[in-house]
Amino acid sequence: MVMRGLRMSSYCFFFLTNFFLLLLNISAGVSALSRLDFPPDFVFGAGVSAYQHEGAAAEDGRKPSIWDTFVHQGKTFDKGTGDIAADQYHKYKEDVKLMHKMGLEAFRFSISWSRLIPDGHGAVNPKGLNYYNNLINELISYGIEPHVTLSHFDYPQALQDEYKGFENRKFIEDFTAYADVCFKEYGDRVKTWITFNEPNIVGYGFTGCSSPFGVNCSVGAPVPEPYKATHNIILSHVAAVHLYRTKYQEKQKGQIGITLLTFWFEPVTNSVLDIAATEKEIAFSIDWFMEAIVYGRYPAIMRQRLGSTLPHFTENETNMLTGSFDFIGLNHYQIVKVDQHSATPSEHEGGSIPKLVEYIKEKYKNPTVFIHENGYSTEGDDDPSSPASYIDTKRIECLHKNIQSMLPTIRNGTNLKGYFVWSFLDGLEVFGGYGKHFGLYGVDFNDRNRRRYPRLSTYWYTSFLAKNGRKTETSSLLFAQ
Ligand SMILES: *[C@@H]1O[C@H](CO)[C@@H](O)[C@H](O)[C@H]1NC(C)=O
Ligand SMILES: *[C@@H]1O[C@H](CO)[C@@H](O)[C@H](O)[C@H]1NC(C)=O
Ligand SMILES: *[C@@H]1O[C@H](CO)[C@@H](O)[C@H](O)[C@H]1NC(C)=O
């Protein structure tokens, strides 16, 4: 009965929404926006990650990752786990159909290393191999381009137990061997590879520790482990890039890069101290990885402050690191206001993508850039029958503002080539668990079948992506709500 009621309400909602969007479409206005305003080679997508959305955590030979361990220690805000998550493992065909209906041009997802190679090294799990082949084939059959992340916080627990994962240089060899399997098996169809997702919060400030979900060192303290761990991540990145370039790229004609979490930092005042504090924040979050992969060194500010706590690259490593990427992925959500004493993130600030991209252009020789994550979270009520769960006008406002903000910076010569909404559908959020919703599609986590339901933003993005020349008007009507 409940199910029937729900279906009924979303049915009515569908018509209501289409009517609403129709109204919006026919009223011309300054903020009208269409995918056709962007260059044809620009790509619009949405994303998910393996542990946050796949579920089937103990099925078909998958073994735990460090993220499984973390959540099973009750460390997620709502004690949620990714055991079932959005169950994409079983529902990928349905999901790809929804993507197609939405007009999605690209889909960003990650491979669960412990599904593919359960012990971190050694035997490949045929069922894991098969799953990603199926998913990739399904995407390709609808003309949806996969952007695939190799490591999205979830390396195999076996490697943590064996040698402390990121903290050990052995990680480099295992990561490269895993990447080799992925390139070899999927590289004929996957043309965009991301080595690591947000490695710049893994080692420092994220849980304040050297592995993303190990927690045994104080937040932000200049202890060596985080820098050692990220040093090994950077060397793992460069080893995978080197492998791809020497063994696969010529034949497969793909691109490989890395995706960072990038806040946009602004000083609270124009005082010398606030500006210096802001430069420090940028160095310790963005420049940390950018200087490494563009110039093969760490930022001077970091070296000054950390001294020998910060590892060194050998001459060979520096040579290999220099220019070791085809693109940079930027995950961007917030502006952070900085003064000498604190750095305070603002909630859901829009419009700072151009500042970030211009910064990268000026400082790092105008690389190809993708906004690999951007989005808006709502909280609390995830009862799909409640309007609050699907009337997400704030999300639409945020997406509209941010997508629109990219146009001038593209015209100003940045190599911004794509934009991905985080997320395609609700999943297990890193700390917020199931209490935070980023999805265009909502997921009913109380339903055994993990029923998907479209939010208003689903219709908005669909209408924006439509290649019929109509403009999507996110009018004052919508903003006013
Ligand atoms: C965590 O840190 C404490 C204090 O430094 C130490 O005694 C303990 O052995 C550490 N635990 C692990 C698992 O490393
Ligand atoms: C430099 O690194 C590459 C890749 O790891 C390796 O093949 C090469 O032997 C190294 N060269 C030296 C001189 O260490
Ligand atoms: C446009 O690009 C130029 C040259 O890189 C730069 O100096 C200028 O600040 C950019 N304009 C904006 C609005 O970012």
Catalytic residues: 198, 373
Contact 403, 464 (CB under 8 A): yes
Strand partners, 264: 335
Atom 3, ligand 3: residue with shortest CA distance: 412
* pLDDT at residue 27, rounded to an integer: 36
Helix, strand, coil proportions of the chain in percent (round to 5)?
45, 15, 40
CATH of the domain at 327: 3.20.20.80
Contact 174, 120 (CB under 8 A): yes
User: Which residue spans within 40-174 are E strands per DSSP?
Assistant: 43-47, 106-110, 145-151
DSSP 78-98: T---TTTTT-HHHHHHHHHHH
Q: Look at residue 354 and tell me if it is in a domain.
A: yes
Dist. CA 102–CA 100, nearest whole Å: 5
pLDDT of 15 higher than 70:
no
Number of domains observed in the structure of the chain? 1
Query: Is the pLDDT higher at 86 or at 203?
Result: 86
pLDDT (tens digit, 9 = 90+) per residue, 220-279? 445 677 788 899 999 999 999 999 999 999 999 999 999 999 999 999 999 999 999 999
Confidence label for 219 from pLDDT (cuts 50, 70 and 90): very low
DSSP reduced 3-state for 43: strand
pLDDT (tens digit, 9 = 90+) per residue, 275-332? 999 999 899 889 999 999 999 999 999 999 888 889 999 999 999 999 999 999 999 9
Q: Look at residue 207 and tell me if it is in a domain.
A: yes
Q: Which domain holds residue 242?
A: 43-478
Confidence label for 152 from pLDDT (cuts 50, 70 and 90): very high
> Ligand 3 pocket, 358 CB below 6 A?
yes
Q: Look at residue 160 and tell me if it is in a domain.
A: yes
> Ligand 2 pocket, 270 CB below 6 A?
no
* pLDDT at residue 190, rounded to an integer: 98
Q: Look at residue 435 and tell me if it is in a domain.
A: yes
% of the chain beyond a pLDDT of 90 = 70
Mean predicted lDDT score pLDDT of the chain: 87
Dist. CA 107–CA 425, nearest whole Å: 12
Write down the number of H helices and E strands in the chain: 20, 15
* pLDDT at residue 248, rounded to an integer: 98
Average pLDDT over every residue of 405-419: 97
Contact 447, 5 (CB under 8 A): no
Q: Look at residue 3 and tell me if it is in a domain.
A: no
Q: Look at residue 297 and tell me if it is in a domain.
A: yes
pLDDT (tens digit, 9 = 90+) per residue, 454-469? 999 999 999 999 987 6
Query: Token pair for residue 439?
Result: 């999805």
The ligand minimizing its distance to the Cα of 359 is 3
CA 216 to ligand 1 center in whole angstroms: 6
Q: Look at residue 457 and tell me if it is in a domain.
A: yes
Rounded alpha-carbon distances, angstroms, from residue 424 to 294, 351, 370, 440: 31, 21, 17, 5
* pLDDT at residue 470, rounded to an integer: 64
Query: Token pair for residue 66?
Result: 């460090």
Q: Look at residue 173 and tell me if it is in a domain.
A: yes
Average pLDDT over every residue of 172-179: 98
Q: H or E stretch including 343?
A: strand 343-345
CA 238 to ligand 2 center in whole angstroms: 12
